[in-house]
Amino acid sequence: MKPSTENKNDVKFLGDMPADQFRKFGYELIDWIANYFENVEDYPVLPHIKPGDIRKQLPLSPPDEGETMEKILKDIDKIIVPGLTHWNHPNFMAYFNSSSSGPGILAELLAAVFNSNGMLWRTNPSSAELEQHTLQWLRQMLGMPEDFWGIMYDTASVASMHAIAAAREQAGINVREKGLAGRNDLPKLRLYASEQAHSSIDKSAITLGLGLESLKKVPTDDEFRMLPDELDKAIKEDKKNGLLPFCVIATVGTTSTTSIDPVSNIADICEKENLWLHVDGAHGGSAAIIPEMQWIFKGVERADSFLINPHKWLFHPVDITAFYTRKPEILKRAFSLVADYLKTPEENIVDNYMNYGIQLGRRFRALKLWFTIRYFGVEGLRDRLRYHLFLGKEFTTWLDAYPAFERMAPVPMSTICFRLHPKNINDENKLEELNLGFFKEIDTNSEILISHTRLNGKYVLRVNMSGLRMELRHIKKAWEIIKTKAEEILTKL
Ligand code: PLP
């Protein structure tokens, strides 16, 4: 019956799913999830489907009447699972892994239940304070000093964009009021990152109205690390030409090879030139929680801001980015705008997170950081990352011992770039063709998922070991598959 407003007695309470149904299907779903993780290896890591295969199974219009949960859950198995790329699969060795852990998943469930919007301290004091507190825990784990203030954003891309916006604010050119367009009182702004920096930096330049031309890609050495002398030279040249340098991005763990920029040397230059230094440690930065790996963060303590992605290498469900800055007041100056309806009595004594970014509403992400750190413990997380470093070393040893493979970059963490390079082929075009075919063979016919990149213009294959469910046996199997495919190709040659 539809609610009628004419007669109050006709108005029917509509409400949510009844508690008994929620309980029944909640238990069912938790069982389903536990079974999924127990059997995740039985799924193909990459689905065998074509574009459009999922949509053609879905009705063109939404249902007028509600459907049963039985029917909805059945479609998970029938339609959704066959179309999943299984990031939790231990044979997922592509990109940077983001595998989710039990405690992270349970925390996400609770976050959805509370569904509180942490835009202001008042709109969810627990979220605001847990966010501050867990970020301070994580800062301690990373060995970073106390003057770093933290905030959670969704992705590394968005966090870096906020860093660059804060850097622009620091440059004192009043973009906040006047914008950039149509101004003849402004020189061209200049932002620096290495040739190996993530494409999100380019996207920030686009989004912030700086334009791609404002991003200077600094050359790297033969280990794909930014050359500080080249940075210094570029800044001097730009200044001579009337440009306004304002920000440098260093990367700890670049996307292709996990190379580590010399942050201390870059910090020297930034301090001398008064430029904002932001460090992108999206994937690799997490390794700094291991005492013997803390060297990778040398110099980051002098940065103006840095980030890591717990959703990459600390087993959190996507998304969560931990962003830190020593200059929260500048970030706030760039973004704070308090509409009258958002004013609160305690605004002078609390951090209202809405003031530190473009979004107003925010998820309760701190719960998953709290659950995950507490459940595994700092030592438990360190041991898991250490194991991945061990897996990376094992794979590298096997690869280096096999003459037809050429390793294309050092392996400071657990990401390995290589290509097939038979002794008798040295023509780069032929090698490219050979490796494109090699990748296709692995991608279409096998049980593992790897990715590719380009280094010094050369097409290379790339494997990454940072999945929570990865064991030595999976790496051994992956190596067997890669080696066998290579041998098949070499025999045909
Ligand atoms: N920075 C680096 C170094 C990355 O490797 C990546 C993704 O792999 C990103 C940023 C972007 O991460 P997100 O997907 O969280 O925006």
- What's the pLDDT score for residue 155? 97
pLDDT in tens, 7-51: 666 677 799 999 999 999 999 999 999 999 999 999 999 998 999
Give distance in angstroms: CA of 312 to centre of ligand 1.
9
Distance from C-alpha of 307 to C-alpha of 319, rounded to nearest angstrom: 13
CB-ligand 1 contact for 283 (6 Å cutoff): yes
- Whether ligand 1 lies within 6 angstroms of the CB of 305 is answered as no
Beta carbons of 71 and 287 less than 8 angstroms apart: no
Of 200, 286, 296, 307, which is best to mutate to test ligand 1, by the most ligand atoms within 8 angstroms of its C-beta? 200
pLDDT digit string, tens, across residues 349-378: 999 999 999 999 999 999 999 999 999 999
Here the tokens at position 105 are 């998943």
Structure tokens at 389: 């470093």
Ligand 1: centre distance to CA 182 (Å) = 33
Nearest ligand 1 atom, CA 157: 16
With bands split at pLDDT 50, 70 and 90, how would you rate the model's confidence at 445? confident
Could you tell me the distance, in angstroms and rounded to a whole number, from the CA of residue 156 to the centre of ligand 1? 5
Report residue 93: phi and psi, to 5°.
Answer: -125, 20
User: Distance between CA atoms of 180 and 188, rounded to whole angstroms?
Assistant: 10
Q: 353 CB less than 6 Å from ligand 1?
A: no
* Other beta carbons within 10 Å of 31: 10
What gap in Å lies between CA 408 and CA 419, rounded to an integer? 7
Q: What average pLDDT does the segment 251-259 reach?
A: 98
To test the pocket of ligand 1, the residue of 95, 98, 157, 249 to mutate (highest count of ligand atoms within 8 Å of its CB) is 157
Q: Which of 307, 287, 328 is nearest to 204 (CA)?
A: 307
What is the chain's mean pLDDT, rounded?
Answer: 95
What's the gap in Å between 186 CA and the centre of ligand 1?
A: 31
CA of 8 to the centre of ligand 1 (A): 55
Asked if residue 170 has pLDDT above 90, the reply is: yes
Distance of CA 452 to the CA centre of its chain: 18
Closest atom of ligand 1 to 255 CA is: 5
Band (pLDDT 50/70/90 cuts) for residue 493 is confident
User: Which among 145, 132, 414 is positioned nearest to 299, based on CA atoms?
Assistant: 145
Beta bridge partners of 418: 407, 461
The two domains 117-363 and 379-492 share their CATH topology (first three levels equal): no
Q: Is 155 in the pocket of ligand 1 (CB under 6 A)?
A: yes
Pocket test residue of 309, 314, 453 for ligand 1, highest count of atoms within 8 A of CB: 309
**CATH classification of 19-99, choosing from 1.10.3720.10, 1.10.15.40, 1.10.150.120, 1.20.1340.10?**
1.20.1340.10
State the Cα angle at 489 between 485 and 490, rounded to 5°: 115
State whether the beta carbon of 309 lies less than 6 angstroms from ligand 1. Answer: yes
Residue of 87, 153, 278, 280 best suited for mutating to test ligand 1, as the one with most atoms within 8 Å of CB: 280
Q: Which atom of ligand 1 is nearest to the CA of 158?
A: 16
Q: Which atom of ligand 1 is nearest to the CA of 283?
A: 5
* pLDDT tens-digit map of 122-166: 999 999 999 999 999 999 999 999 999 999 999 999 999 999 999
Q: Relative to the CA of 154, which ligand 1 atom is closest?
A: 15
Beta-carbon contacts of 352 under 8 Å, excluding residues fewer than 6 positions away, are 119, 120, 121, 128, 338, 342, 344
Protein residue with its CA nearest to atom 7 in ligand 1: 255
Q: pLDDT over 90 for what percent of the chain?
A: 95
Q: Please answer whether residues 246 and 294 qualify as being in contact, where contact means their C-beta atoms are separated by less than 8 angstroms.
A: no
Residue (of 161, 176, 97) closest to 475 by Cα position = 97
Is 259 a pocket residue for ligand 1 (Cβ < 6 Å)? no
Question: Where do we find the tokens 């992108």?
Answer: 280
Residue count of the chain = 493
97 Cβ below 6 A of ligand 1: no
- Sign of the CA dihedral 220, 221, 223, 228? negative
pLDDT in the model for residue 97: 86
In the chain, domain spans? 19-99, 117-363, 379-492
For residue 5, the model assigns a pLDDT of 54
* Maximum CA extent, the chain: 89
Ligand 1 atom closest to Cα of residue 281: 3
Instruction: State whether the beta carbon of 249 lies less than 6 angstroms from ligand 1.
Output: no
- 313 pocket-lining for ligand 1 (C-beta < 6 Å): no
- As a whole number of angstroms, the distance between CA 392 and CA 406 comes to 16
Is 1's pLDDT higher than 50?
no
Ligand 1 pocket: which of 254, 255, 313 to mutate (most atoms within 8 A of CB): 255
Query: So what's the pLDDT on residue 6?
Result: 59
Mutate to test the pocket of ligand 1, among 158, 198, 323 (most ligand atoms within 8 A of CB): 198
**Ligand 1 close to Cβ of residue 157 (< 6 A):** yes
Ligand 1 and 280: CB distance under 6 A: yes
Which pLDDT belongs to residue 12? Answer: 77
Q: Mean pLDDT across the stretch 55-79?
A: 97
Atom nearest to 96 CA in ligand 1: 8
Q: What is the pLDDT of residues 77-126, one digit of tens each?
A: 999 999 999 999 999 999 998 889 999 999 999 999 999 899 999 999 99
User: pTM of the full predicted structure?
Assistant: 0.96
| CATH topology (fold) of 117-363 | Aspartate Aminotransferase; domain 2 (3.40.640)
Name residue 296's amino acid: I
How far out from the chain centre does Cα 371 lie? 19
Which atom of ligand 1 is found nearest the CA of 155? Answer: 15
Question: How much of the chain exceeds pLDDT 70, in percent?
Answer: 98
Structural contact between residues 251 and 283, judged by C-beta atoms closer than 8 angstroms: no
CATH of 379-492, one of 1.10.10.10, 3.40.50.970, 1.10.274.10, 3.90.1150.10: 3.90.1150.10
Ligand 1: does its nearest atom lie under 6 Å from the Cβ of 200?
yes
Q: What is the pLDDT of residue 444?
A: 86
Q: Quick one: average pLDDT of 237-241? A: 98
The token duo for 370 is 């709290």
For residue 312, what are the CA distances in angstroms to 32, 68, 101, 422, 466?
A: 24, 35, 12, 34, 8
Residue 179 predicted with pLDDT over 60: yes
Three-state secondary structure of the chain: CCCCCCCHHHCCCCCCCCHHHHHHHHHHHHHHHHHHHHCHHHCCCCCCCCCCCCHHHCCCCCCCCCCCHHHHHHHHHHHHHHHCCCCCCCCECCCCCCCCCHHHHHHHHHHHHHCCCCCCCCCCHHHHHHHHHHHHHHHHHCCCCCCCEEEEECCHHHHHHHHHHHHHHHCCCCHHHHCCCCCCCCCCEEEEEECCCCHHHHHHHHHCCCCHHHEEEECECCCCCECHHHHHHHHHHHHHCCCEEEEEEEEECCCCCCCECCHHHHHHHHHHHCCEEEEEECCHHHHHHCHHHHHHHCCHHHCCEEEECHHHHCCCCCCCEEEEECCHHHHHHHHCCCCHHHCCCCCCCCCCHHHHCCCCCCCCCHHHHHHHHHHHHHHHHHHHHHHHHHHHHHHHHHHHCCCCEEECCCCCCCEEEEEECCCCCCCHHHHHHHHHHHHHHHHHHCCCECEEEEECCEEEEEEECCCCCCCHHHHHHHHHHHHHHHHHHHHHC
